[in-house]
Structure 1
Amino acid sequence: MQNVNEKMALLDNKSTTNGLTTFFAVICIVDVFGVFPVVTLPKAVIDCGFYGFFVVTLTCLTQIYTASLLGRCWVIAEEIEPSIKYKNRYPYAALTEISYGKKMASFVTFLLDLTIFGGGIPNLIVASQNLQLLGLRASDGSVNISFCLWIIVVGSVLCPVLWLGSPKDMKLLCSLSVGIVITVFLLINGCILLSTSDPSTEILENNSTPVWKNVLKAYGIIAFQFDIHPSILTIQVDMLAKSRLTRAILAGFSGKF
């Protein structure tokens, strides 16, 4: 393995940033979830009825268990091959290389990039559509900028963030993101409490949909929004106490619910 310090931020050749405490690791995990579970998950689970409880419980327990196993693999790998610490910018490839060689490491890297790309596109589309709707609402329909243009603007604004080295270099950004999640949660609950409309009609209409379709829909949303595997090792390698990853995962999931 190359003896190169990959913990250095891309824009700072003299980075002295400290690692992540367990608290900031929890912040980063909640940041990965974003606001979509707050906005879309409750309705999907309600449509499942009694089965929604089992879907949420089983899916999240599986996520927690497998993510914890992944973290333990990294801890074991550091004991077997201490030089793996210098490949922490690409932890999944480094972990795979120890077990199956460089070819499989390249394949895992491809799958990881594909997963991150596939997960990022829906987020960009939804954010762009929200900006388009915001322009329409704020201007009473006179300003209608297509989300196709907004997605270019949003992507350009977010691009510099990708130049940061790792989660430890984005503490402020993650904290701001979690603050937005909490704000959205409070605003949604406030709107629900102050709303005078009766949602019972909409709920009754959804009862005509087969339960298995609602269950599959809810599972898809949960599996997509609570999948922390593509980034969990990136968070762990920056932690000061890597063995506490399981605690951070449990706290992150508990805080989200």
Structure 2
Amino acid sequence: MATSENVMSEVLSPTVQLISDQSPHGLTILTTAVFIVGEIAGSGVLALPKAVNDAGWIGFVIIFGCCILSSFTGSLLGKTWSFVLERYPEHRGHVRYPYPLIGQIAYGKPGRILVSFCINFTLFGACVVYLLLAAENVQGLISNFHKDISFCYWLLIIAACLAPLTFLGTPKDFWPVAVGAMTATALACVVLFANMIYDIPKHPDPPHPSPTFLSFFMAFGTICFAFGGHPAFPTFQMDMKEPKKFGKAALLGYLVVLGMYLPVSLGGYFVYGDAVKTNVLNGVSGGGMLITVQLLITIHLVCGFIIIVNPVSQEVEELLKIPKEFNWKRMVTRTLMVTCILFVAETIPHFGAILALVGGSTNTILAYICPPFFYMKMCRMKPDPEQNQDWETVELPLHMKVWNYEIIVVGIVAGIAASYSAIASMADPNTFTVPCYVNITAASARG
């Protein structure tokens, strides 16, 4: 039996050449990494300090662990998609939604349904979080100039501005958006960290609470969300010049994300302690630095929203059989998508609970459970001679099998606990948030 490395080399080389020839203007390793950073970083910068404080010092261990595991499973997902390209020539063109296709090839229709549901739930929830954070940041920005406009109204305004920007086609059509998202977040992290250093004298010996079961696993869900990005990875890989090199892009992207997250998390934990807010910006000192960070993070959230809503929109258009070329049906479909996101945001105007629920449930499935399962299944799949299939199976070393199963078990246990914690928090009367439209209706009645 051939080794996995030899088989991968023999199997992927003709595929890489074919795809490269078909996509001479596709994404490079660097631009793919930029897309990964642009999709992932942003909400994590704002939420991780609170998550680390809730989890205790071990939160930093979880950050490193999630970064390493996410990079590894992202690479596995890339290898699995490369198997698909080599073994199934009919999928070498543009595929609107490649991750569900991987699930279908590995485990049939149930695999596709599971992946599709998880992706739609994850990305939809992420869009809600991005919209809520953008509205909160804009409200904070405007309040600096003594203009008091309700957060709920800002949700409406920002959603109306974002809808036309979602009409763009696939990632290679809007790479400048990814560059803008990454650049804005990188600059925001630098300024935010400087602001935290400035605040050190104001918070001498900050206290740190003892983690509880609920707070610890809520924090875990938040950290998982902060490193989630797998739903869009095959979409990015499909637009690459050399899809085989996606693993390098994933590693580079996650290293950049870790470099952004760590300073802000350290600052939030050691400078503010128990005083840190769910959105860290709500607890730092006001002034020019805070305004700069709010503006930069808002730019990222707008750019990130455009990136993460794209895969969901593409699958909906595939189900409705809407042509891939730009047309009025795409405009209507994506406008309705933004409208649905807006409705959920107005209904649950509390991003922390949504972030933890999505991070602990479907995001965990997509990032830590499905990639190892799908990769191992594709390695041992045998060709069907009746369909003129011809490839060699890949024999994985024992330690790789053990490592993959360990990731799956950890993902299942931690995901269940994090999801339970998030739901319990949302149902807690002390943390329940009244929907925006209830507040607006009540205010109108009083008026």
Structure 1 200/82 Cα, relative in aligned 2: closer, same or farther at 3 Å? Answer: farther
Letter in 2 for 1:158: L
Distance in 2 of aligned mates of 1:31 and 1:169: 15
- The answer on whether the counterparts of 1:33 and 1:226 sit within 8 Å (CA) in structure 2 is yes
Distance 2:78 2:136 in 1: 36
- State yes or no: 1:182 paired with 2:186: yes
TM-superposition CA deviations, 1:130-184 (whole Å, max 9, x none): 2122222221xxx221122211221222222322222111111111111110121
Report whether the alignment pairs 1:62 with 2:69. yes
- The question of 1:83 aligning with 2:84 is answered no
Instruction: Provide the alpha-carbon RMSD of the alignment.
Output: 2.3
Please report the TM-score for the alignment, with normalisation by the length of structure 2.
Answer: 0.49
- Tell me the distance in 1 between the aligned counterparts of 2:168 and 2:24: 12
Distance 2:92 2:169 in 1: 15
Residue in 2 aligned with 1:119? 126
> Are the aligned partners of 1:48 and 1:218 in contact in 2 as well (CA < 8 Å)?
yes
Q: Distance in 2 between matches of 1:58 and 1:244?
A: 23
> Residue 216 and residue 106 in structure 1: after superposition, are their counterparts in 2 closer, same or farther (change >3 A)?
closer
For 2:244, the aligned partner's letter is S
Please state if 1:172 is matched with 2:176: yes
Q: In structure 1, how many angstroms separate the alpha carbons of the residues matched to 2:164 and 2:41? A: 19
| 1:177-204 Cα distance to aligned partner (Å, 9 max, x none) | 1111012112112212333633234x31
Residue 54 and residue 72 in structure 1: after superposition, are their counterparts in 2 closer, same or farther (change >3 A)?
A: same
Write the distance in 1 (CA, Å) between the matches of 2:54 and 2:117.
36
SS in 2 for 1:145: coil
Query: 1:65–1:85: structure 2 CA closer, same or farther, 3 Å change rule?
Result: same
1:128 alignment partner, SS class: helix
Q: Secondary structure at the match of 1:40?
A: helix
Distance (whole Å) between structure 2 residues aligned to residue 151 and residue 255 of structure 1? 30
- Alpha-carbon shift at residue 212 of structure 1 (Å): 4.8
1:213 Cα offset (Å): 4.9
Judge which range, 73-82 or 149-158, deviates more: 149-158
Larger RCO, structure (CA 8 Å, separation 6 or more): 1
Share of identical aligned residues, percent? 29
- Secondary structure of residue in 2 paired with 1:86: coil
1:96 aligned partner: 103
Range that drifts further, 224-233 or 43-52 = 43-52
Write the distance in 2 (CA, Å) between the matches of 1:48 and 1:238: 38
Alpha-carbon spacing, 1:17–1:148, altered in 2? closer, same or farther (3 Å): farther
Q: Using a 3 Å threshold, how does the CA distance of structure 1 residues 243 and 125 change in structure 2: closer, same or farther?
A: same
Say if 2:37 and 2:182, in contact at 8 Å, map to a contact too: yes
SS of structure 2 residue aligned to 1:197: helix
**CA drift at 1:90:** 1.3
- TM-score by length of structure 1 reads 0.82
**Change in CA separation of 1:243 and 1:126 when aligned onto 2, cut-off 3 Å:** same
Distance between the aligned counterparts of 1:254 and 1:238, measured in 2? 22
Cα separation, 2, equivalents of 1:111 and 1:44: 23
Secondary structure of 1:19's aligned partner: coil
Match of 1:238 in 2: 239
1:30 CA drift (Å) = 0.5
Query: Unaligned 5+ residue runs, structure 2?
Result: 1-22, 259-447
Shift in Å, 1:80: 0.7
Q: How does 1:202-221 map to 2 (within 5 A)?
A: 203-204=206-207, 206-207=208-209, 209-210=210-211, 212-221=213-222
Does the Cα contact within 8 Å between 2:82 and 2:244 map onto a contact in 1? yes
Larger C-alpha radius of gyration, 1 or 2? 2
Q: Determine the C-alpha separation between the residues in 2 that align with 1:213 and 1:56.
A: 18
Distance 1:214 1:113, change over 3 A: closer
Aligned to 1:253: 254
